[in-house]
Structure 1
């Protein structure tokens, strides 16, 4: 089988990094086309030996991208097109249909009221649903996202849950790496350090982490990521007088970048994901793989697990708290963690549930059904 993956952009982001990791484990020949922004992940894919092309799409209304992409699909003689992220799904499904090629799409970032961090409008939803019918299957990265797709009206038989995956070995705690990373960042060995990872947008609520750390004398905060809120978050840290205790690392790839997310997670003592809404919560799984105590708000990766989302080392906030201010609740949990002295735990069994090799096998089942080589039922009914 020969597959073409079409993605909106290849800057550093969760869906983009997940695609790169997945291609390392899919047992088929894969090429990649990015509609725009051939950034750091494109460079990483090329380093892995993957052919990457930039379609050069100029805007959301660049309709000429459809025939350009259709010609590329025909010339490549692909058995399957796999699209990722909203714009690529819309344009890629149409182009694949024009080229006469089977298309599968992955829904990476669908929330209740947002998609990829932007408000969901009626027009956005209608265009998504109209083009979804052109595909053979839609992959949801969590059962939560699968449920949202069903609520939209996507037929259940077309929805397959293939959870995001990680290479747990890459995040295994290494005390030598911890000391080296802390030294390079100027963090004292004994300091209590909180970590946060993600795109700096309002929904991630990194402001809660800054306010909570400001209320904990001696605590430090490492934030890995970039985005439109970076400037306002730096300003908030300055207003609260904690600029010296908050380190903004910028974009850090989960693979091959220095210090890199595995090194960052090794250097911190507690990980926080305060996102108001998530479609999966990959950073939480990575933190658990690093043996970190985790504090999280919305996180389908945990909440969708059997047993109601009870995972050793993970603490849910914002569900049934009496705290009027979510910052107060987060501060209280972090203070307890700080005073407990617990810095590392054994990775919980939940980490094995999200092994990238399992994700690869599940996706191959979807491919087989889509191209008609095997009568495989939807993978949402085939969780281990």
Structure 2
């Protein structure tokens, strides 16, 4: 079976890393290629290093319709059985292009649909209308990464029978704690070996509420805040921060940064999944969080994960408790494995493409 994954871009981000993990976990029985509509970025390099072709379409913006015939031609030339789209722009262009290219089997993963926003843009009537028009043209299933995303898609008007809930996955082995990585990361970022480090991991955007963490640690003299990521509010956060806040910038992979931390804090109120929380648990870190749909949807609470309101005082209190009861790193927890993600996605491909089952290799 040949599958073309269409994604908006391949810079460092949760959806982009999920695609890389999915491609790796699918293995050789599904022959995949990737096309990125815009800047390939570091994740494209990682995917290519795994031996998977990455095509760059070179779109100049959301309204660059000249990209559509190029994408149609690429799909036709590759003789793909399935087109799988990721992120808003790719879902719109990819679904339309697949239909024009004659591919009947289109799967879309909805990674980032929040309340009132999708990938940082407001969900105006025009945004919803374009999304739904493309979804109906494709006539294929949409994978929701959590039940919360499923509920939002239904509220938008997507039929429930066209939605499959498949949680994101992680690879525990590539997130495992390593003492050498911890020392190297702390040395590079100028953090003392014996410092207590609270970490924030993700794009520096308003919705992540890293301002809450800056206020939470301000009076805590023995705590360093490590913010790993980049984004539109970095300068604003730097102006708010004290001298014990380290801005590490974007990272190609989370493991080294997680190894440098003693606790991960995630005060964002809007999340479709919150991959950073699960990555931290797999690294053995205790986690303080406000919203993490996959954890909130589990029948039993996950040890070492504490849910808090997004208030500086509550995060400060929880950090103080951690300081007073310092212990060794906890056993790693990985309730969502990439292998399970790949198995579920492979089943969706085959259920929608019964004639392709004979081509599986």
Please give the residue correspondences for 1:132-151 in structure 2 after superposition, counting only pairs within 5 Å: 132-135=135-138, 136-151=140-155
Aligned-residue offset at 1:184:
3.1
Measure the CA separation in 1 of the matches of 2:173 and 2:49.
21
State the SS of the aligned residue for 1:347: coil
TM-score (norm 1): 0.89
State the SS of the aligned residue for 1:139: strand
Please give the residue correspondences for 1:66-81 in structure 2 after superposition, counting only pairs within 5 Å: 66-81=68-83
Measure the CA separation in 2 of the matches of 1:347 and 1:47.
27
Aligned-residue offset at 1:200:
0.7
Aligned-residue offset at 1:179:
2.8
Residues 259-292 of structure 1: per-residue CA shift (max 9 Å, x gap): xx21111111110111121000111000001111
**8 A contact 2:189–2:248 mirrored in 1:** no
Aligned-residue offset at 1:374:
9.2
State the SS of the aligned residue for 1:53: strand
Counterpart among 350, 356, 359 of residue 341 in structure 2? 359
Aligned-residue offset at 1:177:
2.7
- Farther off after superposition, 172-181 or 104-113: 172-181
Measure the CA separation in 1 of the matches of 2:16 and 2:158.
24
Measure the CA separation in 2 of the matches of 1:47 and 1:34.
16
Task: Name stretches of at least 5 consecutive residues in structure 2 with no aligned partner.
Answer: none
Residues 78-124 of structure 1: per-residue CA shift (max 9 Å, x gap): 01100000000001000000011121100000001110122111111
1:100 is the counterpart of 2:91:
no
Aligned-residue offset at 1:343:
4.8
Which residue is 1:382 aligned to?
none
Q: Tell me which stretches of 4 or more aligned residues in structure 1 moved more than 4 Å.
A: none
1:314 is the counterpart of 2:308:
no
Kindly tell me the number of residue pairs found equivalent between the two proteins.
353
Please give the residue correspondences for 1:234-383 in structure 2 after superposition, counting only pairs within 5 Å: 234-237=238-241, 242-243=242-243, 245-254=244-253, 261-307=254-300, 310-318=301-309, 326-348=311-333, 351=334, 353-373=335-355
Counterpart among 115, 118, 122 of residue 119 in structure 1? 122
Aligned-residue offset at 1:132:
0.8
TM-score (norm 2): 0.94
Please give the residue correspondences for 1:34-49 in structure 2 after superposition, counting only pairs within 5 Å: 34-49=36-51
**8 A contact 1:292–1:343 mirrored in 2:** no
Measure the CA separation in 2 of the matches of 1:132 and 1:345.
43
Residues 33-70 of structure 1: per-residue CA shift (max 9 Å, x gap): 11111111112212221111111111211112212111
Which residue is 2:11 aligned to?
11
Measure the CA separation in 1 of the matches of 2:76 and 2:261.
49
User: In 2 relative to 1, CA 78–46 (structure 1 residues): closer, same or farther, beyond 3 Å?
Assistant: same
**8 A contact 1:296–1:315 mirrored in 2:** yes
Which residue is 1:109 aligned to?
112
Residues 121-151 of structure 1: per-residue CA shift (max 9 Å, x gap): 1111111111111231101111211121122
Which residue is 2:219 aligned to?
215
Measure the CA separation in 2 of the matches of 1:100 and 1:306.
42
